[in-house]
Amino acid sequence: MAQAEKKTSVAIIGSGMGGLCMAIKLLEAGYKNIVIYEKASSLGGTWRDNTYPGSGCDVPSHLYSFSFEPNANWSRKFAKQEEILHYMQHCAEKYQITRLIQFNTEIVSANFDEESGTWQLHDKNKQYEAQILVCACGQLNRPALPNLPGIQSFSGKAFHSANWQHDYELTDKKIAVIGTGASAIQFIPQIAKKAGKLHIFQRSPNWMIPKPDRKYFSFEHKLLNLFPILTRFYRYSIYCSLEVRFSAFFKGSIVARLFEKWAAYNMRKQLKTEELQQAMLPDYPIGCKRILISNDYYPALNQDNVVLHRNAVTAIHAEGVTIKEDDSDKNIKVDTIIFGTGFESTSFLAPMQVTGLNDTKLNNAWNDGAEAYYGMTVAGFPNFFMLYGPNTNLGHNSIIFMIESQVRYIIQCLAQLEKQQADYLHVDDKKMSTFNNKIQQAIRNSVWDSGCSSWYKTASGKITNNWPHFTLQYWWQTRKPDFSFYHFQKVEKSTTD
């Protein structure tokens, strides 16, 4: 149903899944004054950036898509990057979002002006203004490079998985891959097919389970197109089957022990030497780091041109990398280094400077680790919202479900502002800190707190990324904002006006 046009201006930062969803639902709710600021020259966020060979989603596509825009034609169960990006471009066109995106605009700072009740945004050239600021920057958008001595001195080609150099030919090259997380296990099998020699440097092994992937048959496409209700039902069944897996994320869970046995059995079955089998067995409970899914990573490790090193790289030099072996340095010559070393996941919006009431800087407020109320609002930062913010990441289900819950919540906040004829709202700091204490308490009962290193943790060990409950709980608790947790304020009009 068409809504009356609303004047409130909304700035969204980022045109990934979150930014698109926010803009689509704002338009639907009658907000027309929307700008999406995008630092790159095209939309897509993580699915625009991560074009490495084999890049794809480890959540089934019927669930890793918007509930309001089902796609009966996904080519396979776990879509590859190109198809997901194509889906996002389709959504942007269909819902007329592309025209709202201002490309090549990286917002470097955002300051809340109390007098006007507006956000003043800056890129390197200009200033922009909006009443509402929604940051949809994601948690994994800034590639992390290891802090290794000599990293600049390498004379060959070096790049990060999120910045793949497609023009650079890898055939017959001697390649070093540093890092063995979710990205690396997708590109390693692809480059192992062509590398002359592939050295993989693993700091710690991951739990991995088979990927139940396959192409969809054309009769399945026909059936889903003919009966759209079946597409919805299918999506719902995937959601339920993933949601129950959360029971494996409690510390000491029996379900997790069974999962571990199954994962270890699959690993042993696929790796041909005992040495490899030992190297690939994690010493921490399953789920502590993100569980990886793959059918081609273990077979790639068996290849004759692939060497798995259990010793972390200690330095990089002009001709390759150095590792410690039997207490002495060993140099390995390579002509290419690929960093699969992940992202700066715990600094969230940094390096963007966000300044709220009383000149408070968000980065200072988050000195001890980022926190927010349901990952969306922060005390002292009025009319400021985040999508996929602190403690909303999942280890077991689709982030799109969380994003849609957040978008619904934010739109209700905007409606309430209008209803109360207020200029801005901000969450109460005591309520927010009580909420976060509970989150951290729940995290202590989760498997993430089991003594492994992971991108969910800050350097001091605080888990700032994950939601420690079922997603159904998140949906239930955010379906209707409790406005008694918020302060609503009007801008004081100057008497000289």
Q: Closest approach of Cβ 57 to ligand NAP, in Å?
A: 4
Q: Does 395 bind ligand NAP (CB under 6 A)?
A: no
Distances (CA, A) of 423 to 71, 77, 420, 459, 492: 39, 46, 9, 38, 10
Cβ-closest residue to ligand NAP? 181
Q: Closest approach of Cβ 18 to ligand NAP, in Å?
A: 15
Q: Closest approach of Cβ 202 to ligand NAP, in Å?
A: 7
| C-beta of 276 vs 413, nearer to ligand NAP | 276
Using CB under 6 A, pick the residue from 63, 88, 158, 178 that binds ligand NAP: 178
Fill in the per-residue mask, 43 to 72: x = in contact with ligand NAP (CB under 6 A), - = not in contact. Answer: -------------xxx--------------
What is the distance between the alpha carbons of residues 267 and 277, in angstroms, rounded to a whole number? 7
Q: Closest approach of Cβ 345 to ligand NAP, in Å?
A: 7
Among 481, 474, 476, residue whose Cα is nearest residue 403: 474
Using CB under 6 A, pick the residue from 60, 342, 356, 382 that binds ligand NAP: 342
What is the distance between the alpha carbons of residues 373 and 431, in angstroms, rounded to a whole number? 8
Q: Closest approach of Cβ 49 to ligand NAP, in Å?
A: 11
**Which residues, 6+ apart, have CB-to-CB distance to 116 below 8 Å?**
491
What is the distance between the alpha carbons of residues 68 and 223, in angstroms, rounded to a whole number? 19
Q: Closest approach of Cβ 249 to ligand NAP, in Å?
A: 15
Q: Closest approach of Cβ 295 to ligand NAP, in Å?
A: 13
Using CB under 6 A, pick the residue from 73, 204, 305, 458 that binds ligand NAP: 204
Of 177-185, 242-250, 258-266, 412-420, which segment contacts ligand NAP by CB under 6 A?
A: 177-185
C-alpha dihedral (219, 224, 226, 228), degrees to nearest 10: 180
| C-beta of 315 vs 491, nearer to ligand NAP | 315
Using CB under 6 A, pick the residue from 40, 312, 357, 491 that binds ligand NAP: 312
Using CB under 6 A, pick the residue from 15, 131, 141, 180 that binds ligand NAP: 180
Chain-centroid distance, C-alpha 55: 14
| C-beta of 201 vs 424, nearer to ligand NAP | 201
Q: Restricting to residues 422-481, which ones interact with ligand NAP according to CB under 6 A?
A: 453, 455
Q: Does 341 bind ligand NAP (CB under 6 A)?
A: yes
Q: How many residues of this chain bind ligand NAP (CB under 6 A)?
A: 23
For residue 359, the 8-state DSSP code is G
Contact 118, 384 (CB under 8 A): no
What is the distance between the alpha carbons of residues 441 and 338, in angstroms, rounded to a whole number? 38
Q: Residue 374: CA atoms inside 13 Å, Cβ hemisphere, count?
A: 25
What token pair was written down for 33?
Answer: 């004054």
What token pair was written down for 426?
Answer: 């901000």
Residue 401: count of CB within 10 angstroms of its CB: 21
Q: Closest approach of Cβ 424 to ligand NAP, in Å?
A: 33
Query: Cis bond leading into 149, ω under 30°?
Result: no
Q: Does 8 bind ligand NAP (CB under 6 A)?
A: no
Q: Closest approach of Cβ 93 to ligand NAP, in Å?
A: 24
| C-beta of 376 vs 400, nearer to ligand NAP | 400
Q: Does 181 bind ligand NAP (CB under 6 A)?
A: yes
Distances (CA, A) of 283 to 5, 85, 205: 57, 36, 8
| C-beta of 116 vs 241, nearer to ligand NAP | 241
Contact 267, 208 (CB under 8 A): yes
Helical pair 17-28 and 81-94, crossing angle rounded to 10 deg = 20
Q: What are the backbone dihedrals phi and psi of residue 220, each rounded to the nearest 5 degrees, phi first?
A: -70, -40
Q: Closest approach of Cβ 452 to ligand NAP, in Å?
A: 8
What token pair was written down for 118?
Answer: 């507006």
Q: Does 179 bind ligand NAP (CB under 6 A)?
A: yes
Contact 28, 40 (CB under 8 A): no
Of 21-29, 176-184, 280-288, 470-478, which segment contacts ligand NAP by CB under 6 A?
A: 176-184
Contacting positions for ligand NAP (CB under 6 A): 56-58, 140, 146, 178-184, 186, 203-204, 290, 312, 340-343, 453, 455
